[in-house]
Structure 1
Amino acid sequence: MKIAVIGGTGLIGSQVVRKLAAAGHEAVPHSKSTGVDVLTGEGVDEALAGADVVVNLTNSPTFDEASPAFFQTSMDNLVAAAGRAGVGHFVILSIVGVDQVPEMDYYRAKTLQEHILATGSVPYSIVRATQFMEFMDDVMSWTSDADTVRLPATPIQPIAAADVASEVAEVAAGAPLNGIRDIAGPDIFTLDELGRITLSHKGDNRTVVTDPTAGMFAVVKGDVLTDKDAHLAPTRYADWLA
């Protein structure tokens, strides 16, 4: 099966390409560096030509009020091109609970992306993941100084990027869900607790202060999964840190 992976050179996309190729599929990575621009449409038709499946892993360069425009334009271009190419399955990666946080610009933007795909004419699958373990350092950097890191007690269930890539690859190689698959790591933490664990592992002596107003995740109600059908990934945070 030929699978076009848009955003196929990034953290998740590069791993998805490798996993699909290892399973015997013709997985082709596409990005701006390969001449594909999802905003202008340049190279999109060529990228999707002959593809059975398209996986869109591109992301907005910002998390602010500009992000909805990115997803509107990029999805309009990709869905239209998928229709012209006769693609039989369109996959995107989203966020668990994304439609429950209208206060956040980026979450509204990702909800818009899901809506554009679900209301289009191409059979589709949406993989919703919890927060990546790899992003913990970035999250802490937003609200830290030389002595302290301020984090809210938002409950999260972090997942390793490699496990996300495995799930996306599995979904891409299967029949369209025409719906959503939730995926998460095996353990539940609060964000401030996870910060303390991370700093301790790194030998970082800064203090984590629980601050319900700190950072982007202050408005998030939590991405803890309760759906019995959710897929739980195997990698635990302690093992990932090690």
Structure 2
Amino acid sequence: MASSSTAAADDLENYLALGLTVSQSKKKGAEYPKVLCLLSTYLDKEVHRNEELLGSNKIKESTTIFHGRRVPDLGIKLYAERIYKYAQCSPSCFVLGLIYMERYLQQPDIYMTSLSVHRLLITSVVVAAKFTDDGFFNNAYYGKVGGISTREMNKLELDLLFSLDFRLKVNLETFRSYCLQLEKEALTLVLEKPIHVQASNGIKHLSFNNNVDETCKHELVHERYSSRALQGCS
């Protein structure tokens, strides 16, 4: 019993450190949870490692639906923060998203690079939000958040789901191990550096502009207003 209590206390401490306990009601005006920075650092290092191996021909890569024509202007960290800001998903979705990404990358000759990491991230977090959160948006909205079309968002989601064989459930032990893995990144934080790679297929690049951001903000305000109205009627 004592060891169980200790383990629970350690888990809570770890979750607090990652910012996973931030409630939906307190997210407005709050700082981004630490998990975003650590996840971004981890993904950035994996991208660098994979591209070094690809550049030296030590591994060969198969092009996937997640590959874009060029590297997005928005870095991984800023992209993760954008998703958190506008998608309004719980912080734990980013841990689940990482788990889904790594399950997807277990396929032969599939590697995460600067051409695919953004689409893999938005798709995995969206799937995690739909699987675990009480409320979520439609893919048209998520596409605006991620800088892609609704059609592409739909295709990416389906490809990820079928690649995972719809195995979205994650046990506590696995979730805990990934949290610990991210915590280790706190010891080796590195500055994000943009990577410039030649295009490999014809998928449209991610796009962001002020009009899209204003649309996202408007829909968030509308969502909050609708929620308050429903609470008032209950």
Q: TM-score, normalised by structure 2?
A: 0.26
Q: TM-score, normalised by structure 1?
A: 0.25
Structure having the larger proportion of residues in helix: 2
Structure having the larger proportion of residues in strand: 1
